[in-house]
Chains A and B, each alone.
Chain A
Amino acid sequence: AQKITQTQPGMFVQEKEAVTLDCTYDTSDQSYGLFWYKQPSSGEMIFLIYQGSYDEQNATEGRYSLNFQKARKSANLVISASQLGDSAMYFCAMRALILTGGGNKLTFGTGTQLKVEL
């Protein structure tokens, strides 16, 4: 079974500052993928960044980077230079990576509501 824990229900950050959203996970799978999604109030889940468990380097996508610490089972999202449009709910998710029959089932955390202030 997989479990994702996001311990920050809400976060505030000032515009142009960096912010880190925490995510820890638990799984018995040897190979897995970790995802971060952004959900604005409109409801759509927007893919931000992906990290495979065997990737040696931390993933980066523009202003988003994933601080992956495998031994600690953490996959924190770092947003640099926050913008007002970053205000949204952020979800961490994971999926087992199995060569056959693994599927695309995602297990989500409870989310962190980020508010960017002027």
Chain B
Amino acid sequence: KAGVTQTPRYLIKTRGQQVTLSCSPISGHRSVSWYQQTPGQGLQFLFEYFSETQRNKGNFPGRFSGRQFSNSRSEMNVSTLELGDSALYLCASSPAAQGRAFFGQGTRLTVV
């Protein structure tokens, strides 16, 4: 069974631009969560989608948004990038409304 796939793995963007990250969960998993990891703030929860509906949201500005498609694939969008958005963005999928979370390899975003 294929694991969680995140694309792209690495990304360099300029301040003010926007970026879209993609996450394909494990087949059959309906829940997708996104996390931001930085050296200063550690791992922080961004949001979770379950069956195309946002179920939980972390404490991030509105520049961070996401969505989930009918095949459970999820995208995360960050608009008007700031230097502080440079981070490893991790996606996790779970099989059920509450289940064990399995993570992808992450997308490392650098904003210059």
Contact = CB atoms under 8 A, between A and B. Distances in A.
Given A43-B108, A44-B104, A44-B106, A108 B31 contact: no
A62 interface: no
Interface string B100-112: 1111111010000
Interface string A28-54: 000001010100001111110010000
Q: Is the interface of B mostly helix, strand, loop or mixed?
A: strand
A93 B43 CA distance: 10
B90 A45 contact: yes
A37 B102 CA distance: 10
A105 B33 contact: yes
Given A45-B90, A101-B55, A106 B105 contact: no
Interface residues of A, number: 26
Contacts of A19: none
Contacts of B55: 101, 103
A97 B100 CA distance: 12
Nearest to B31: A104
A103 B42 contact: no
Contacts of A44: 103-106
Interface in A43-82: 43-47, 50
B45 A45 contact: no
Interface of A: 33, 35, 37, 42-47, 50, 91, 93, 95, 97-98, 101-111
18 contacts: A42-B105, A43-B90, A43-B105, A44-B105, A45-B103, A47-B101, A47-B103, A91-B43, A102-B98, A103-B48, A104-B50, A104-B101, A105-B48, A105-B58, A106-B45, A107-B45, A109-B42, A111-B42
